[in-house]
Amino acid sequence: MRLPKFKHLFLIGATSAAMPAVPDDTGVLTAADRDRLAASLTAGQYLPQQGAAVALGDPFLNYVGLLSADKTVTMSYPVYGESKNAASPYLTGLATRTECALESWQGVTPTTPVADMAGTARSLLADFVRVASAAKAAHTAVPLDWQHALATIRQAPAWHALAIRLAASLDYTNAVGRLAPELATALYGQHLAVSVSRLETYNRNPFEYFLKYGLRLQVRPEFELTPADSGSLYHA
């Protein structure tokens, strides 16, 4: 396999869970099933590999991919996702062999120059909100270069509305309102028969009580295979 050459390669998400690939043999057809079916296929027909066979070629694919850059290779991974992540052994191995220390990317702060975070208009807007929020919490003014960045983005028709909406969100407060008596009667009735758990819900979060027992919202059903459905499918 021959890949085109690039000057710079950015490899994002290099966690131990993604590199190397973790074999998955939980599909409808297992690797053993595919091997048995392969004998009955005609020329030109094949079933994609699955299971441990996929992992055998993973080091080679990553090796070829990493060599596709002429100048620099930048690998990164999130330290935290749904849980704490670990770096890919490919990343730590390369860092050891090349004697390159791993660096932590620091989040944007009010002291961060705009030039250090230059990217797309959307990413700069997200960074502006973080900077402005931190400045507001510290009771300081938003740095001038970040104010100028927001003003420049607002001049672009494609980003004008979003920039105004995000900037306005910094001063948003979720004010608690009151239901009109006739609306409260329509939602809850004339007489309330509530349990202790309902009263505890109201005391903890009145808005949750309103959604659950006033509007009577239900979780939207998701059409997905449950373990019971999978068992029925396998044995059908």
- Boundary (domain end) residue, out of 43, 67, 98: 98
Rg, Å, the chain Cα set = 28
144 within a domain of the structure (yes/no):
yes
109 within a domain of the structure (yes/no):
no
Shared domain check, 187 and 231: yes
Apex 156 CA angle, 151 and 162, nearest 5: 75
108 within a domain of the structure (yes/no):
no
- Boundary (domain end) residue, out of 140, 169, 198: 169
193 within a domain of the structure (yes/no):
yes
104 within a domain of the structure (yes/no):
no
Determine what percent of the chain is predicted with pLDDT higher than 90: 26
pLDDT given for residue 105 in this prediction: 81
106 within a domain of the structure (yes/no):
no
Shared domain check, 165 and 123: yes
Which letter does DSSP use for residue 4 in this model? Answer: P
**Residues 6+ away with beta carbon under 8 Å from 187:** 179, 214, 215
Tally of domains within the chain: 3
Shared domain check, 184 and 164: no
| Euclidean distance between CA atoms 129 and 211, whole angstroms | 29
pLDDT by residue (tens digit) across 193-206?
Answer: 888 998 899 898 88
pLDDT by residue (tens digit) across 118-173?
Answer: 889 999 999 999 999 999 999 999 999 999 999 999 999 999 999 999 999 898 88
127 token code pair:
């960074």
DSSP3 helix / strand / coil % (the chain, rounded to 5): 45, 10, 45
Shared domain check, 91 and 15: yes
CATH code of the domain containing 29: 3.40.50.300
Shared domain check, 62 and 34: yes
105 within a domain of the structure (yes/no):
no
Shared domain check, 63 and 31: yes
1 within a domain of the structure (yes/no):
no
pLDDT given for residue 67 in this prediction: 85
Residue 222, pLDDT > 80, answer: no
pLDDT by residue (tens digit) across 91-110?
Answer: 999 899 989 888 888 789 99
pTM: 0.51
Which letter does DSSP use for residue 40 in this model? Answer: T
Shared domain check, 88 and 63: yes
User: Domain containing 24: what range?
Assistant: 6-98
pLDDT given for residue 83 in this prediction: 67
Shared domain check, 159 and 185: no
Residue 25's pLDDT band, with cuts at 50, 70 and 90, is low
Higher pLDDT: 143 or 25? It is 143
Shared domain check, 92 and 16: yes
- SS3 annotation, 47-113: CCCCCHHHHHCHHHHHHHHHCCEEEEEEEECCCECCCECCECHHHHHHHHHHCCCCCCCCCCCCCCC
Shared domain check, 119 and 88: no
Shared domain check, 123 and 86: no
Shared domain check, 181 and 163: no
